Amino acid sequence: MTSQTDTDKFEQQRQEKIEKLEALGIDPYGSRYEPVEPAESIKARFQDEQEGQQARCAGRIVLFRDIGKLIFITLRDRSGTIQVGLSKSIVKDQWPLAKLLDLGDIIGAAGQLGRTRTGEITVWVEENGLTFLSKCLSQPPEKFHGLADIDQRYRQRYVDLWANPEVMERFKKRSAIIATIRQFLEARGFLEVETPMMQAIAGGAAAKPFITHHNSLDLDLYLRISPELFLKRLLVGGLERVFEINRSFRNEGLSRRHNPEFTMIEVYQAYGDYNVMMDLTEELIGSCVAAHCTDATVKFGDFDINLTRPWRRVRYADLLKEHSGCDIDDIDAVRHKARALELNESAMDDAVVVNEVFEATVEDALIDPTFVLDYPAVLCPLTKRSKTDPRYAERFELFIAGMELANAYTELNDPARQYENFLVQLKGQEDTMATMDTDFIKALKYGMPPAGGLGIGIDRLVMILTGATTIRDVILFPHLKPVDAPTAG
């Protein structure tokens, strides 16, 4: 482990090189350097038999070999790496600059393309073709591909990205997956919209919100836990197909599957229902699999997940019976099972106990994609009830690798029923009307078309499609405990 003394000594040595650069009349932090061609593009267009091929690239030095009158550098940019060659006989006046280069420095290189004796495509820097762009003062990882400390990687993503190429590729893939989602929905007539991230009432999901304060209005506001109620207002307004790729916030715990700030997509389609949303979910995720996975079977930890369509569709009550052995209507048996699972069920409502047992016995077993249909209605205050059995709501959740990936409803559009559901949901609070979204009820009174609504966790979807088993690997800057936080005893 590098000590603070070693770190200070290292930075001092680099600082001395800055002074030498300035003595040569070189700005150690550079200026505009254009045009620049990506490394992979340069290598792809190179032709062995063609003379006079030129290249101009820029990037970070991740490998440096000084062999006397030749220096070989591996330069990394957003696309990959390329070798740069410096010959003392060619660069001449810039040789003193070349000798001041270090691992981690950012440079520009222009010159003629060729191959070395080992066959590697190389940019041979021409006279005055070396440009210094930024000095690296902090010590880079000991190996250019070896930033291995997991906690350090998350805290210093700015190093992780260039020190570990697979990390860079994962985040490029994340961006491409989101682009595919947008293209899929836009091609089907959905309009991308934006709704408030600060809301006067925390609504749309059952979760603990973050609270902030607007000084001018002297008003407490909540970072949204979901954009749902605003998006459904847009259905009332006549925007019949809308979606939002949104940042939402829930003031809850950290885990391999949870981050308090996360990305999801919510989609609403007038005149649809949860069956329409089920088909849409399968097609949307299927399009991402086709575009970004080499095979329909993906590796996720110890699991080989088969994403081949169609996906299993099974009722909540049937899964509960299959995995817990309990009939959903036999509440005594369910409570007995809860006690066997060491769940404190005595103060829970019946539906909550059922769901606790479901979560404990069923969810981890749902590895391949599984749509879980028809949840107990009491758990779904924003959802229409089944016409054939009103004890159940027209809701599904999609599970993959034991994780909830999507949640969808046939949306409740009856203002009187919605008002009653809100009252039940908020029962026990001192001032019910102060926390109810009465404006949403008012919007429903103008008439919201029958509709299906869908939410998909983008972070978890990217986890599945890239094989990342912790959410921190797919969020550029995940929330972490402070370095000096006390450790639980």
Residues marked as binding for Mg(2+)? 397, 404
Task: List the Cα angle 79/82/84 in 5-degree steps.
Answer: 145
Q: CA–CA separation, 380 vs 395, rounded Å?
A: 8
Summarize the annotated binding site as residue ranges.
397, 404
Residue in 64, 152, 138 with CA at minimum distance from that of residue 102? 64
Q: For residue 293, is it left (φ>0), alpha (ψ between -120 and 50) or beta? A: beta
CB 59 within 8 A of CB 41: no
CB 297 within 8 A of CB 401: no
Buried b (16+ CB within 10 A) or exposed e, 153-169: bbeebebbbbbbeebbe
Q: CA–CA separation, 419 vs 320, rounded Å?
A: 30
CB 160 within 8 A of CB 198: no
CA gyration radius for the chain? Answer: 29
* Structure token digits, residue 9: 């000594």
Task: Catalogue the E-assigned strands of 218-348.
Answer: 219-223, 241-249, 261-270, 297-300, 303-306, 312-315
Q: CA–CA separation, 44 vs 35, rounded Å?
A: 18
